Structure 1
Amino acid sequence: MPGRSRPDRGGQMREQGWSAPQSAALYERAQRSIPDGSSRSMLLRRPHPIYVDHAAGAWVTDVDGNRYLDCNNNFASIIIGHADPGISAAVAVRMARGSAFSLANDVEIDLAELLCERVESFELIRFCNSGTEAVMAALKAARGFTGRPNVIKVEGSYHGTYDHAEASLGADPSNWGDVAAPRTVPYAFGTPTSVAHEVGIIAYNDAEGARVAIEQAGDQLAAVLLDPMPNRVGMPDLEPEFIAAVRETTRKVGALLVLDEVITFRLGHGGMQTLAEIDPDLTTLGKIIGGGFPVGAIAGRTGPMETFVRIDGDRAKVPSGGTFSANPITMAAGHETMTRLDHDAFARLDYIGEAVRSGLRELFDRAGLEWQVTGRGSLFRVHSHQRHIRNYRDSYQSSDEKAVVEQFGLRMQANGVYFIGDSLGSLNLATTDEDIEHFLMAAAASLPGG
């Protein structure tokens, strides 16, 4: 059974014997009441999803008793660790007073103040329930503030399940057009044709392409939506010339820069914008700021944030709300989490991430594989090629490359590491040096020929 496996006498970790019959049975049952068997398509993997029983720290245990080092952490939303006693205690205190109300709560103010104190561009903040909601609200605020309809985003970048934000998420060589002027490709079937006219696409790290697209959109452009280290683009380094071009040109035409830090806020005390010295007008947040509970937030400069403010008692330019927005359970968990994420915590997360990335590079070299790993901080991504990655097209995988990465993920699973099929890696603060050793041993056994 996988878990804290150790090498056998041949120096390899044991893959044989992995099975999850109870997960298989649950998936068969789920397909009778849930389309495709899961409300989260990202969990679907061959031969079936793994169903969790419990988790603690950096480890999860499935319903069949198999244990895995968690290298996904609910798609980068868990950062302190699973079932953390401090977060559990903070939640229990609030739960004892009730879970949700149609009245305001003071812990929302506590978390808002903490976040606004951490980041210079966060003059005001407003909470919602997910990163998707945060992006939707930020784009509405940008339109409300500028009075303009259109947005520009990066090809291949994921910003949640919203038609405009999904544009060109799944573009491929058959439809993506010229890299200097990428086409706008709808993602979901049934997307309104208007999206192609309302969303412009640029290539990541193409400074000149960004300038041209923003200037051409001109007085119709409300915002550029940008993830500073987009996972589905391959987690390439952000080139200073590119972000400078985006920031300078948006200001030139009177558009806003909306920075999506739903994932990258876990990279440092003030997020990626502090590390890269980016000055956005609005920032979208989610994941870690909820301490393991559903959360989203829009933060930014006073001007665009005031589109959410009621005018003389009437509705705001951009009304927003939600039954569970800023609920006290999420706010308490988020406040406990963010309070504990000090500079020392981020230094430890940087150490953990770099130990994994450098260890993987050594394994690739030793195995003679033309693979690479990208990312920074507690995030990483494995690529089964050595193309220099600047944008989505550089990282775009052929069917053979996809199959190789998927097989690597499945072998990691058999060797006691939960590593999602698209090769996104996200680590939490409970990861120990022994856990890193386990990860690298599993990786060595899971590589082709391992």
Structure 2
Amino acid sequence: MPDFADVSAGTAKLTMQMTESGRWPTEASAALYERARRSITDGTSRDTLLRTGGHPIYVDHGEGAWVTDVDGNRYLDCNNNFASIIIGHADPTIAAAVQARMARGTAFSFPNDSEVDLAELLCGRVESFEFIRFCNSGTEAVMAALKAARAYTGRPKVIKVEGAYHGTYDHAEASQSPNPTNWGDATAPSTVRYAAGTPASVEDEVGIISFNDAEGARAAIRRSGDQLAAVLLDVMPNRVGMPAIESEFISAIRETTREVGALVVLDEVISFRLGYGGAQTNMGIDPDITTLAKIIGGGFPVGAIAGRQGPMETFVRVAGNRAKVPSGGTFAANPITMTAGHAAMTLLDRDAFARLDTIGENIRSGLRSIFDRAGLNWQVTGAGSLFRVHPHHRTIRNYRDSHLSSDEIVEITEFGRRMQSRGVYLIAEGLGCVSLATSDDDIEHFLGAAEASLPSP
């Protein structure tokens, strides 16, 4: 079990004793949550932190691959702020760069050279990044990319993959969490509104295709024809189960969008951590627009829209007139985020990505061996620094294949809770990612915790 550390002022010091339930004590986190509920709706501004029920764990600090909560419990962090931390917590190089930049000011109503530095670095890595523009989150990046696609093509409709998550924009949320009662026919999935308050028009403006269904994609794109602005695609969507994308599916989307004059918007908010030039370089994909966030901010809020000159010119003012797609934001391209992002992306050279691939593969292969030894029909998907555990062994090609039954949800949720009680913090439903700070000893700790966390035979 990891050591306990002294916790911050105002919280109790605890001994290395688990509660009678076999889980670590979390009294200080519970107390903070009760305080929070008196001033924050639902007790936290991020509902993703409440998925496991009960109170969330409040963090005190992070260092390298580990975080320590306010009760003194330490966890190997395989959540990494939902895949946004890739170097590790409190990296000294990033910290030094940020501290030096902060001494010169944190935000201005002027552009600054740090924005140019990060733009040049990113555009220099990816062939399709002819121009780039920064914002503050992945959600903002997807919103802007879809608006740009509509403005460039003069068309209203978007197609996306069933089950894929692209942030909290109404159109991007469509069918991100359908179920057998509303998802419709597999060959022509229904468009299902996600949040209360989503306008009914979304059902007409967003078409849904099944991941890896090449013929279904061709048919849907052709049906939309001259009404289609773009297909929004994530090559390894976590809520779809992180199955491997099939080359025929990629080709079908790219060829048929060109046939009807629509764009491909590639969501690399998460998948950009798969390689030096992102997933598109690894897989030979040629998108018109790419959305970015998470790792390019070095641990600070960030988003970006990058792409070919044509669609990116929708953000350009002409003769002093308003751009087709006006965009801005008080903290967009602020010097702290740009500096941290440049420091992080500089550290992420080709050797760093090779190390991340090794860490991820050691975890995936180690989990498969553990499941085999236990005679457990579970499986692992993912690539690079990403992985997802599935409490079944059916073939996964799309969202419906990975959709969990109520019993499977209980199994994987309990697995995550047991992992947490053994000092490993995952994202949700068996999903995880690793940072460059993960050592071989950390991998051993992870696999030991996983073996001890399997369900009883």
Structure-2-length-normalised TM-score? 0.95
The residue identity in structure 1 corresponding to 2:343 is: E
Structure 1 residues 34-89: Cα deviation after superposition (integer angstroms, max 9, x where no partner)? 11111111111332100000000000000000000000100110000000000000
1:52 aligns with 2:59: yes
Match of 2:137 in 1: 130
The structural deviation recorded for 1:3 is 4.9
The structural deviation recorded for 1:449 is 2.2
Q: Residue 29 of structure 1 aligns to a residue in which SS?
A: helix
The structural deviation recorded for 1:420 is 2.6
Distance in 1 (alpha carbons) for counterparts of 2:92 and 2:430: 29
Q: Residue 225 of structure 1 aligns to a residue in which SS?
A: strand
Moved over 2 A (4+): 1-4, 14-17
Match of 1:220 in 2: 227
Q: Residue 185 of structure 2 aligns to a residue in which SS?
A: coil
Structure 1 residues 148-202: Cα deviation after superposition (integer angstroms, max 9, x where no partner)? 0110000000000011000001110000000100000000011100000000000
Query: Mapping of 1:182-331 within 5 angstroms?
Result: 182-331=189-338
The structural deviation recorded for 1:207 is 0.2
Distance in 2 (alpha carbons) for counterparts of 1:334 and 1:261: 16
Distance in 1 (alpha carbons) for counterparts of 2:179 and 2:23: 38
Distance in 2 (alpha carbons) for counterparts of 1:55 and 1:311: 47
Match of 1:414 in 2: 421
Match of 2:438 in 1: 431
More off after superposition, 14-23 vs 399-408: 14-23
Q: Residue 438 of structure 1 aligns to a residue in which SS?
A: helix
Distance in 1 (alpha carbons) for counterparts of 2:352 and 2:369: 26
The structural deviation recorded for 1:15 is 8.2
Match of 2:32 in 1: 26
The structural deviation recorded for 1:2 is 4.7
Match of 2:173 in 1: 166
1:147 aligns with 2:154: yes
Structure 1 residues 346-405: Cα deviation after superposition (integer angstroms, max 9, x where no partner)? 000000000000000001111111100000000000000011100000000011101110
Match of 1:9 in 2: none
Distance in 2 (alpha carbons) for counterparts of 1:366 and 1:297: 44
The structural deviation recorded for 1:17 is 5.1
The structural deviation recorded for 1:421 is 2.7
Which of 30, 38, 42 is the equivalent residue of 2:44? 38
Query: Mapping of 1:63-74 within 5 angstroms?
Result: 63-74=70-81
Identity in percent: 74
The residue identity in structure 2 corresponding to 1:218 is: G
The residue identity in structure 1 corresponding to 2:38 is: R
1:380 aligns with 2:387: yes
Which of 92, 99, 102 is the equivalent residue of 2:99? 92
The structural deviation recorded for 1:16 is 2.6
The structural deviation recorded for 1:340 is 1.0
Distance in 2 (alpha carbons) for counterparts of 1:47 and 1:195: 34
Match of 1:405 in 2: 412
The residue identity in structure 2 corresponding to 1:369 is: L
Distance in 1 (alpha carbons) for counterparts of 2:335 and 2:23: 44
The structural deviation recorded for 1:423 is 1.6
Distance in 1 (alpha carbons) for counterparts of 2:414 and 2:407: 11
Contact map agreement 1:151 1:198 (CA 8 A) in 2:
yes
Q: Residue 133 of structure 2 aligns to a residue in which SS?
A: strand
Contact map agreement 1:107 1:332 (CA 8 A) in 2:
yes
The structural deviation recorded for 1:29 is 1.3
The residue identity in structure 1 corresponding to 2:35 is: R
Distance in 1 (alpha carbons) for counterparts of 2:268 and 2:287: 11
Q: Residue 107 of structure 2 aligns to a residue in which SS?
A: coil
Match of 2:346 in 1: 339
Contact map agreement 1:3 1:415 (CA 8 A) in 2:
no
Q: Residue 405 of structure 1 aligns to a residue in which SS?
A: helix
Match of 1:115 in 2: 122
Contact map agreement 1:408 1:446 (CA 8 A) in 2:
yes
Distance in 1 (alpha carbons) for counterparts of 2:163 and 2:2: 35
Contact map agreement 1:15 1:411 (CA 8 A) in 2:
no
Distance in 2 (alpha carbons) for counterparts of 1:145 and 1:48: 46
How many residues matched?
A: 441
Distance in 1 (alpha carbons) for counterparts of 2:349 and 2:79: 22
The residue identity in structure 2 corresponding to 1:257 is: V
Distance in 2 (alpha carbons) for counterparts of 1:310 and 1:388: 49
Q: Which runs of 5+ in 1 are unaligned?
A: 5-13
Contact map agreement 1:2 1:414 (CA 8 A) in 2:
no
The structural deviation recorded for 1:289 is 0.1
Q: Residue 387 of structure 1 aligns to a residue in which SS?
A: coil
Match of 1:8 in 2: none
Distance in 2 (alpha carbons) for counterparts of 1:296 and 1:23: 30
Distance in 2 (alpha carbons) for counterparts of 1:304 and 1:34: 40
Distance in 2 (alpha carbons) for counterparts of 1:422 and 1:105: 41
Match of 1:7 in 2: none
Q: Which runs of 5+ in 2 are unaligned?
A: 5-19
Distance in 1 (alpha carbons) for counterparts of 2:290 and 2:447: 35
Contact map agreement 1:379 1:425 (CA 8 A) in 2:
yes
Structure 1 residues 242-271: Cα deviation after superposition (integer angstroms, max 9, x where no partner)? 000000000000000000000000000000
Match of 2:450 in 1: 443
The structural deviation recorded for 1:93 is 0.8
Distance in 2 (alpha carbons) for counterparts of 1:344 and 1:204: 31
Q: Residue 169 of structure 1 aligns to a residue in which SS?
A: coil
Distance in 1 (alpha carbons) for counterparts of 2:251 and 2:3: 46
The residue identity in structure 2 corresponding to 1:236 is: P
Structure 2 vs 1, CA of residues 196 and 3 (structure 1 numbering), >3 Å: closer, same or farther?
farther
